[in-house]
Amino acid sequence: MIYLCTCGTSAAKEWPKEEFGRFSSEAILKCGGKDWAVCFLSELLGRFSMHDDGHLADHLSAEIHSLARMRVSAADTVVLFSSETLDGQVCAEAVARFLGANGLDAKVEIIPGLQVQDARKFSRFGVVAYLRKLLQYIDGHGNGQCVLNPTGGFKALVPYTVLLGMLRQVTCRYIFEFSSQLIDLPPLPVEFSKASLNAVRPVLERIERECAIPLQEFSAALSREQRLSLEVLFDMDATDVTLSAVGFLVLEELQKPSALIPYLSQEAMTGLRRLRARSDVNPLEYLERIARHPDKLSKDKHGNAESGIFWLKPGNTTDRYLVSVEDDWKLLVWEMHDHEGYEERSRVGGLGKALRNERFRRYAPFFRMEIQD
């Protein structure tokens, strides 16, 4: 699993205030700089065990506490999202070193704009940069392989993290305040009306391209009703308009390929019966995954039968699927084969055109495949 964790400064609990003053970026620079402070904090943390409940609650950081409760293991990866401030970076690096010393794979990602001095910069740039980085990991590893952990760091990031988890179907887990109890938020489905939001999509996409647009042009592009009802999507000041963090997430959803509905031909049903008799492939699970994530179609594309019909190869298995996408929402499954059957069919010249000519004889009707939620 990939644990995506916000990281604050609670790793500095043992910082000797009497000797060095309050833990801060200024104190770090005064005492010896970033490298010195990372080593110093790492040594302080190293005196304690993440397997001791007393140490977790009283001496170790919120991030370490939560990860220990989640039973993170050497097979997992921990990503710590740090603020751009020096004190935040020092704590994140020290936590990463502590986790590494305990046999865990940990890395630090510094997020520009995450700081406490400038609220405008935090909301306009920091939160959006944080969400972009989360999405890189989720898209790169898959939502089922990621866990969101907003226990440490800025509490203002918690609602955005939870919203992202709901939109992208990623589990969110964290420890609330001084409790030792994990709060587990499963990936609850959240939907919104894409039809109504598509009307403002051109404005959202223009703002994303240009970072901000003049307030006057924004007011001319949308009606007063639209501006009032969709205010949460935008961040406005006296002169210009940019996307809010919620607006960024909504635009990401609008730009995602819509889910497809699979339809199986009579020929595909015959192939399905043969494939289901085998223990090494799961054709229904594969088709369901492709339908839910149509962006995977290009990745699994394996040759072309022309006329918009093409083969899909799931991975290191021998099952193959001959499909087409119709009307932007139907996934027609024409045939299913093992590798031997696929090789025989792929040698047929002009197969796509032939299939379309035969559609209402040998292939039709196509039966809708029900996807279990």
- Write down the mean pLDDT value for the chain: 89
Give the sheet arrangement for strand 2-6, strand by strand: 105-110, 77-82, 2-6, 146-149, 171-175, 182-185
The fraction of the chain above a pLDDT of 70, given in percent, is 95
Considering only residues 254 and 14, tell me which one the structure prediction assigns the higher pLDDT. Answer: 14
Contacts of 38 (CB under 8 A, 6+ apart): 90, 93, 94, 97
Q: Give the pLDDT confidence of 131-178 residue by residue, as tens digits.
A: 999 999 998 888 889 999 999 999 999 999 999 998 888 999 988 766
DSSP string, 63-118: HHHHHHHTT--TTSEEEEEE-SSHHHHHHHHHHHHHHHHTT-EEEEEE-TT--SS-
CA distance linking residue 312 with residue 314, whole number of Å: 6
CA distance linking residue 127 with residue 158, whole number of Å: 11
Considering only residues 187 and 40, tell me which one the structure prediction assigns the higher pLDDT. Answer: 40
- The answer to which of 8-22, 164-178, 271-285, 325-339 has the lowest mean pLDDT is 164-178
Considering only residues 327 and 215, tell me which one the structure prediction assigns the higher pLDDT. Answer: 215
Checking if the pLDDT of 67 tops 90, the result is yes
CA distance linking residue 73 with residue 335, whole number of Å: 42
Residue 293: per-residue pLDDT: 83
Element (H, E) at 367: strand 367-368
Q: Give Dmax (Cα) for the chain.
A: 86
Which of 56, 71, 61 is closest to 94 using CA atoms? 61
Q: What are the C-alpha distances in Å from 100 to residues 57, 97, 175, 235, 346?
A: 20, 5, 22, 40, 50
Residue 190: per-residue pLDDT: 65
Checking if the pLDDT of 238 tops 80, the result is yes
What pTM does this model have?
0.70
Report which residue type is found at 214. P
158 exposure class (CB count in 10 Å sphere: 0-12, 13-18, 19+): middle
CA distance linking residue 170 with residue 144, whole number of Å: 7
Query: With contact defined as beta carbons under 8 Å apart, do 334 and 346 qualify?
Result: no
**Cα angle: 356, vertex 359, 364; to 5 degrees:** 155
